[in-house]
Amino acid sequence: DKYHFKPSLRQDMEGADLIISHAGAGSIMEGMELCTAANKSCGRQKKKLVVVTNAALMHGHQSELADALEARGHLYVVRDPRELLQEDTLRRIEAFDQVPFEGGDGG
């Protein structure tokens, strides 16, 4: 779909089974919140979050956050948008079992 400017994409994300986002902290937190809420309400994994990092942006801080959350199972990281066109990436995303984000550091 093509988007014109929207003040919020929340309604679109709520209706999606797969959220693909850039790896900014606000976008990640909103995506994890929506996935956790949707998956709890239906009792199964319905919604997944995939983030695309930009390593050149602000000394790689997106990668640092995304990698830490991926290591905890809260999202799936893609390093290059072209990976989203590869069948093996799509299979890995489909098989990814996202862990609900309950807030806090999680240690």
Q: What is the pLDDT of residues 38-72, one digit of tens each?
A: 887 776 667 999 999 987 776 677 888 999 999 99
Q: What amino acid is encoded at 53 in this protein?
A: T
Q: Is pTM, for the whole model, over 0.75?
A: yes
d(CA 75, CA 47): 11
Mean pLDDT of the chain: 87
Output the six-digit token pair for 73: 């199972």
* Mean pLDDT, rounded, for 11-38: 91
- Of 16, 52, 51, the C-alpha closest to 34 is 16
